A and B are shown apart, each in its own frame.
Chain A
């Protein structure tokens, strides 16, 4: 069963704009991860944030985590056409198992 729920389901933006997507989850977690999936490919790990962290950056990515609200957000700044993909949040409650959300499909228009 899916623990994470992403919002929105789909997002279309112009190149250079920022893209923000959110993830809500139900149970306590050790960490929350974001993955990207290009069409027809496997998932690629983007960033991990631990339950005792509130914000993390990696290049053009910024992730926040609010454990009191059981929610996370992923911000992609200055989007590029190559950022067109589906983005999934995944929660790790214990012992390496990940529960994935349904994903947000991001389309970056040139």
Chain B
């Protein structure tokens, strides 16, 4: 049963700390997306990759956020330094060329104190 996995599922940290979230896309998928979900802003696209190349990260605060795909099986989203306003659920999703559907992971619930 292929699915997107994300770690950790929950993270509580203090302001100023570095946070790294990881995502394993479905094997064979070549597009990867990072979203952030909050009550106030809803679902926002932060960044997306195609064939491991970043295509759009315009939704991401550049000064503190960074997204990478070290290899085809791993995508990372880092926040350094973290701030309380970064508290949200972060979702990773993957898809395949020629396909329109995105498959979402279970999310990482981040709380920054």
Q: Identify the A interface with B (CB < 8 A).
A: 2, 30-31, 33, 35, 41-45, 48, 88, 92, 95-103
Contacts and interface: CB of A to CB of B under 8 A. Distances in A.
Interface stretch (B11-19, B62-70, B73-81, B101-109): B101-109
Query: Interface residue tally of chain B, by bracket?
Result: 20 to 34
A48 B105 CA distance: 19
> Binding site of A, secondary structure by majority: helix, strand, loop or mixed?
strand
A96 B45 contact: no
Interface in B74-113: 91, 93, 95, 100-107
A97 B55 CA distance: 10
B100 A31 contact: yes
A96 B4 CA distance: 17
A30 B99 CA distance: 12
Contacts, number: 50
> Binding site of B, secondary structure by majority: helix, strand, loop or mixed?
strand
B42 A98 contact: no
26 contacts: A2-B42, A31-B100, A33-B101, A41-B107, A42-B91, A42-B93, A42-B107, A43-B102, A44-B104, A45-B101, A45-B102, A88-B43, A95-B55, A96-B31, A96-B50, A96-B95, A96-B102, A97-B45, A97-B56, A98-B33, A98-B45, A98-B102, A99-B45, A100-B35, A101-B42, A102-B42
B48 interface: yes
A42 B106 contact: yes
A34 to B, nearest CB: 11
A33 B100 contact: yes
B95 to A, nearest CB: 6
